[in-house]
Structure 1
Amino acid sequence: MKSVLAGALSAAVLSLSLSAQAEVVSPEDQIKLRQAGYSYMSWNMGKIKAQVIDQSVAYNQAQVAAAANTLAAIANSGMGALYGPGTDKQVGSQATRVKPEMFDNFDDVANISARLNETTGNLASAAASGDQAAIRVAFGEVGQTCKSCHDKYRQK
């Protein structure tokens, strides 16, 4: 029931955010801002991956926790507002890899978004605990959530 409620709430917030934000930020800037947000998420995922998954860098709980908190903050920041009308294709100098069919499936996108909010929150909690096994599991869940959206709605 909690996930259904979260999904419905996310859909409502997404809908309100789209109409409010689209009026303030140009389509070109919407694309630029959402790409910056996802790039920053990717960089933070890389920090966690290097320390906890690959162990190619010494583990630093404070850094991992900061990266996980950043992921949760971005996931919960209302980035859905950056998918306004006209942002399904190149605008000015800003190209996008979003598939146009994403704009016809906002209920599904809202569910994925709610799942991202949940999984990044779980990752932040695991990182705060310092339990590397729990961080690995939570990291995998975030990755699977990202992949579920990329597989459906991102062009290669």
Structure 2
Amino acid sequence: MKRMPASAVAGVLAVALASVASAAELKPEDQIQYRQAGYSFMAWNMGKIKANLQGDFDQGQVEAAANAIAAIANSGMGALYGPGTDKDVGDVETAVKPEFFENMEEVGKVARNFIAAANNMAEVAAGGDQAAAQDAFGKLGQSCKSCHDKFRADD
């Protein structure tokens, strides 16, 4: 298994901490747009993994996509759910349900499960075993679905 160099880990942590601190300074509409961008990027990477698992398996592509998802999962995106982001702001729409802001204990549980599944996907992808990656990808997808089912309004 490949390990991330300590300098890279420190860099990711520094960016995550800076992001959390600066998120409080962002306008609600910017917080909504930034978190949506993060989710869009994760969705694109989920598509890359799925394509590789269903077609010609390219371990490098799966690993890169899994690492991107894990990085975003561990980035502190929860800070982008600040006051005023529970509803549409001007022309910036959000799909988050009000229940998200009313049950932070459940939100935390769902978030921890997602982070664990994303980290597991990255670890498994580094191993290069397609069957294990398929299993980890299914678990990651279930963790995404769990949040959508509970906290995302229907499109």
Instruction: State the TM-score, normalizing by the size of structure 1.
Output: 0.83
**In structure 2, distance between residues paired with 1:82 and 1:90:** 14
Asked if the contact 2:86/2:96 (under 8 Å) is kept, the reply is yes
What is the CA–CA distance in structure 1 between the aligned matches of 2:80 and 2:117, rounded to whole Å?
Answer: 21
Aligned to 2:76: 78
Is the 8 Å Cα contact of residues 22 and 85 (structure 1) preserved in structure 2?
no
Partner of residue 59, structure 2: 61
- Letter in structure 2 aligned against 1:87: T
Distance 2:64 2:79 in 1: 25
Write the distance in 2 (CA, Å) between the matches of 1:155 and 1:21: 27
Stretches of structure 2 that go unaligned for 5 or more consecutive residues are 1-17
Match of residue 116 from structure 2? 118
Cα-Cα RMSD = 1.7
Distance 1:117 1:101 in 2: 21
What is the rounded CA distance, in whole Å, between the counterparts of 1:144 and 1:93 in structure 2? 31
Give the CA deviation at 1:95: 0.1
Separation of aligned partners in 2, 1:102 and 1:21: 22
Alpha-carbon distance between aligned partners in 1 of 2:127 and 2:152, rounded to the nearest angstrom: 33
1:107 pairs with 2:108: no
Distance 1:34 1:72, change over 3 A: same
Residue 10 of structure 1 corresponds to which residue in structure 2? none
C-alpha distance in 1 between matches for 2:46 and 2:82: 26
SS state at 2:64 partner: helix
Measure the CA separation in 2 of the matches of 1:45 and 1:133. 16
**Aligned residue runs from structure 1 range 1-156, under 5 A:** 20-52=21-53, 54-55=54-55, 58-156=56-154
The alpha carbon displacement at 1:23 in A equals 2.9
Provide closer, same or farther for how the CA distance between residues 109 and 21 of structure 1 changes in structure 2, counting only shifts above 3 A: farther
> Which residue identity is paired with 2:112?
A
Cα distance in 1, alignment partners of residues 71 and 97 from structure 2: 25
Between the aligned partners of 1:29 and 1:112, the Cα distance in structure 2 is 24
Amino acid at match of 1:62: G
Closer, same or farther: CA 146–112 of 1 in aligned 2, 3 Å: same
